[in-house]
Amino acid sequence: MKKVHNFNAGPCVLPQEAIQAGIEALKDFNNSGLSVIEISHRSKDWEAVMNECRSLWKELLQIPDDYEVLFLGGGASLQFCMVPMNLMNKKSAYLETGVWAKKALKEAKGFGEVVTVASSADKTFCYIPKDFTIPADADYFHITTNNTIYGTEIHKDMDSPVPLVADMSSDIMSRPVDVSKYALIYGGAQKNVGPAGVTFVIVKKDILGKVTRSIPSMLDYRTHVDGGSMFNTPPVYPIYIMTQTLKWLKNLGGVQAIQKINKEKAELLYAEIDRNPLFKGTAAKEDRSLMNACFVMAEGHEALEAEFMEFAKARGMVGIKGHRSVGGFRASIYNACPIDSVKALVNCMQEFEKLHK
């Protein structure tokens, strides 16, 4: 098998243990004689997987008993409308820190008044706004904790005078989270916790059922709470891989252990970006993401961008091209990205520097 270093932003690198378990389950799930993609989602074998997956979420994040963990379809993008549909009566507040935060805000406008409490659009979303005021009469306040396109991240759980909602698609399980500070946390799995196809929602149960509008059954969180995420057929295979990924994380030492590893990887890469005269970071240093390191060619070296891309590709670097809307480079160093891959990228940057001294 060809050796590559996977820095894709999502779907992204997964633990080899989870991939291998998935291969075996595709051939024969739990000695049933059936593939995991053939079994009934109502079978006891599958119910055991769902229960294990939910238990791992609760254990790893120390989720309080008055919260429910849901496994849904539609990606985080569907949550952009499900959140206001279920939680907003009249008014909501949003922090605009990037493309996905902007899309979530846009969807919310279809359900009532939306206040943008602060935005970093003035500097191409290269920082996280500070010192903003959250309106006390908002039904909820929405944040996007990590911005994959621009490489910024909210590193601490903030306090909010109103229910706090967070899109944690790209940094969930990368650090400890005080779930009790949030009313709802959601995200697509395809960064840190599994493959594309399943969406996680962590919701405080007593915030539901407060809006006056009629909500279609499939878009009502209460439907999925009551049905144990099996009101309809769940995305079976992605949930199975998610379970294996969370088992890998638990065996590694959990979110506290992975946070240390993630910091080490990010510090290694950012140190090279700052040292190497050919490259320049694009995010404010205090807000740099531990998940997505974004950088460009330094001033005067812009013409080398295509050459470095080919140079890195020839050395096994996959997925470092920046998002099409911003260009440059992006190395996504999610949980399962090994530190050896980060070291290989750093070596690649140093080799390229030697060629152009």
Which residues are identified as catalytic? 100, 167, 191
**Among 325, 329, 326, 323, which residue's Cα sits nearest to residue 307?**
329
What is the rounded distance in angstroms from the CA atom of residue 210 to the CA atom of residue 81?
A: 16
**Among 357, 333, 191, which residue's Cα sits nearest to residue 269?**
333
Please say whether the beta carbons of 53 and 246 come within 8 A. yes
Report the length, in residues, of the chain. 357
Tokens of 312: 């890195």
Please say whether the beta carbons of 94 and 101 come within 8 A. yes
Beta bridge partners of 263: none
CA distances, 5 to each of 236, 317, 345 (Å)? 28, 5, 8
Tokens of 154: 């909210």
Q: Which amino acid is at 174?
A: S
Q: State the burial class of residue 94 (Cβ atoms within 10 Å of its Cβ: 0-12, 13-18, 19+).
A: buried
Q: Which amino acid is at 114?
A: V
Please say whether the beta carbons of 342 and 350 come within 8 A. no
What is the rounded distance in angstroms from the CA atom of residue 282 to the CA atom of residue 296?
A: 7
Tokens of 284: 């404010």
What is the rounded distance in angstroms from the CA atom of residue 305 to the CA atom of residue 327?
A: 10
| Distance separating the N- and C-terminal Cα atoms of the chain | 35
What is the rounded distance in angstroms from the CA atom of residue 41 to the CA atom of residue 33?
A: 16
What is the rounded distance in angstroms from the CA atom of residue 80 to the CA atom of residue 299?
A: 38
